[in-house]
Structure 1
Amino acid sequence: MTTEAILLVGRGAARTRTVLKTHAEQLERRTGTTVRVATYEHEPVRELRDPLARIDAERVYAVPVRVAHTYETLDDLPAALSMVAGDVRYCEPIGRSPAITDLIVERATALRPATPDVSVVLVGFGSSAKPYHQQMAAYHATRIDEQSEYGEVVACYLHQNPTVECVRYAIENDAAVAVPLFLTATTATTEAIPAKLELDRGGIAYAEPFGDHPRVTDAIHAEIAKQRALAVGDRSDTCLLYTSLSGLARRPVATDGEGPIE
Structure 2
Amino acid sequence: MIDIRKFVDLSALQSIQDQFSEATGLAAIAVDTEGKYITKGSNFTDFCMNYTRNSEEGVKRCETCDKDGRGTYFCHAGLMDFSSDIVIKGEKVGAIIGGQVLPAQPDEEKFRSIARELGINEEEYINALRKVPVRPETTIKAAAQMLGSIVNQLVNLEYIQAISGKRDSVLDSEIDSIKNSLNEVTAKTHDLQKVASMENILSINASIEAARAGEAGVGFAVVAREFGEISKSSGEVYERIHELVADIQKSVRNLTEIV
TM bracket (short chain): under 0.3
* Larger helix percent: 2
Q: If the length of structure 1 is used for normalisation, what is the TM-score? A: 0.25
By relative contact order (CA 8 Å, sep 6+), the higher-ranking structure is 1
